[in-house]
Amino acid sequence: MQLGLLLCDHTDSDFSRVGGDYPDLFRECIAAVAPEAQLQVYDANQHQLPDEGTRLDGWIISGARFDAFGQYPWLERLKACVRRLLEQGQRIAGVCFGHQLLALMHGGEVGRAPVGWGIGTHDYRWRQQAEGHRPAEGFRLLVSHQDQVLSLPERARVLAGSDFCPNAAFTLDDRVIGVQGHPEFTPAYSRFLIEQRKAYFSGSLYRQAIDSLEHEHHGYEVMRLLLDFLTSPQSGGKQYGYRDPQGN
């Protein structure tokens, strides 16, 4: 299984020295559920993107501290790359920032969450049948976000949500899947982010988030679901209904 990571950010050096960078977190999570998988990393934030002829079994857009609706030169190039990959019939999964970006590119709305920051672990309920392995009733993921997908693209199917984040996971045709939480996160990294951003949170939210890190999370199961979606035998592109945001 050959996968590509479109990397949109890096962990801070204070964490990366002991806990690794985002590619390390993704590799560890993927290896736990698909030891045969190989991950190629493209640092999109530094304008490193795959060549036009690159075809892999699936792609993942990482999280980032940036706004998916922001105006950054590297992000415009990334969006052009994502459109090309989809038009070629390749499949893409988005995590947090990547989830928001995929929704926004296809006509969804993304913005600051009216309920504020999501930190620690959050629980989600399944809204639709999802293919592949999954926890039975719902799932719990580590999260860190102040933006959300406020409304989904027209043809999207919501897979999972909560009162806090109604559009926590979605699919679009058979090309796109997104999840707001972070299957690749570890409790240690979540704790690092919570402590680093402590000034943004009320005392009660901070304490609740720290306490929630004691709960089991389903990062491996959700990563398995993403990989199953990316590598399922169906293939296509426009013949399966994919159209780019301009309707071509």
Which one from 106, 122, 182, 217 is the annotated catalytic residue? 182
Cβ pair 94, 230 in contact under 8 A: no
* Domains, the chain: 2-234 (3.40.50.880)
On average, the pLDDT of the chain sits at 90
pLDDT, tens digit (0-9, with 9 covering 90-100), for 203-232? 999 999 999 999 999 999 999 999 999 998
Catalytic-residue membership of 184: yes
DSSP state string for 57-96: SEEEE---SS-TT---HHHHHHHHHHHHHHHTT--EEEET
Which one from 106, 184, 217, 218 is the annotated catalytic residue? 184
Q: What is the mean pLDDT of residues 188-201?
A: 94
- So what's the pLDDT on residue 235? 42
Catalytic-residue membership of 182: yes
Q: Label residue 92 exposed, middle or buried (CB < 10 Å: 0-12, 13-18, 19+).
A: buried
Q: Tell me the pLDDT band of 17, cut-offs 50, 70 and 90.
A: confident
CA 63 vs CA 6, 162, 237: distances in Å? 10, 20, 25
> Residue 127 pLDDT > 60, yes or no?
yes
Residue 97 CB: number of other CB atoms within 10 A? Answer: 24
For the entire predicted model, the pTM comes to 0.89
Sign of CA pseudo-dihedral 204, 206, 210, 213: positive
Which one from 96, 122, 145, 217 is the annotated catalytic residue? 96
